[in-house]
Amino acid sequence: MNIGFLASHTGSNMQAIIDACKSGALQANPAVVISNNSNSGAITQAKREGIPFYHLSQTTHPEQEKLDQAILDTLLKHDVDVVVLAGYMKKLGPKTLSHFKGAILNIHPALLPKFGGKGMYGIHTHEAVIEAKEKESGVTIHVVDAEYDTGPVIAQVKIPVLPNDTPETLQARVLELEHFFFPETLQRIVLGEIRLPRNQRLRVWFL
């Protein structure tokens, strides 16, 4: 399973997945990294790991349609099977969404459908969870559609929100869980325990 990453910032989830590939815990190949941020940790990690990387953004491609095409072409060039959004804070364009329909996964640091949507990313998500006095939070992995955080959920794990949690302490615990949960979920896809919706590639591990 060739993984194509899209990441905007630190890329710690991407690194956890790469590490799992290296250890054999995840039987997959990190094929390419695309970042909309030329200074992202994700690009630094890709360089260090020897994974092909690309900066594709509104700076490199001011027209949305051309950016969408460039992202799609790059994923195709590297023979990507599954697209992993690892802290990617942009929407994908219609061409990429359509070609990889059912095979684009996003990780979200809360229990969707609660605390998702525009503006719900990173620390803002955890601030909202604490503000709402939720008793539990967690991690959601879902198939991506054209909106933010609305596609079908394929895996979810919960943790308690502790009485003295701040957004920062909650974020740290959730992130630690993400680093375990994302590679594990991808391996369950490899093993056929989780079946993704059909996509055009029709690899054996799809429905």
Per CB under 6 A, residues contacting ligand GAR are: 7, 9-13, 86-87, 107-109, 121-122, 125, 149, 175, 178
The C-alpha atoms of residue 113 and residue 29 are separated, in whole angstroms, by 30
Give the nearer residue to ligand GAR in terms of CB position, either 26 or 86: 86
Tell me the closest approach of the beta carbon of residue 140 to ligand GAR, in angstroms.
Answer: 9
| Active-site option among 9, 108, 126, 142 | 108
Give the nearer residue to ligand GAR in terms of CB position, either 33 or 72: 33
Tell me the closest approach of the beta carbon of residue 104 to ligand GAR, in angstroms.
Answer: 13
Range list of β-strands (E), the chain: 2-7, 29-35, 53-55, 82-85, 104-108, 136-143, 153-160
Tell me the closest approach of the beta carbon of residue 95 to ligand GAR, in angstroms.
Answer: 22
The C-alpha atoms of residue 141 and residue 201 are separated, in whole angstroms, by 21
- Cβ burial of 200 (10 Å; 0-12, 13-18, 19+) is exposed
Is 108 an active-site residue? yes
**Positions marked catalytic:** 108
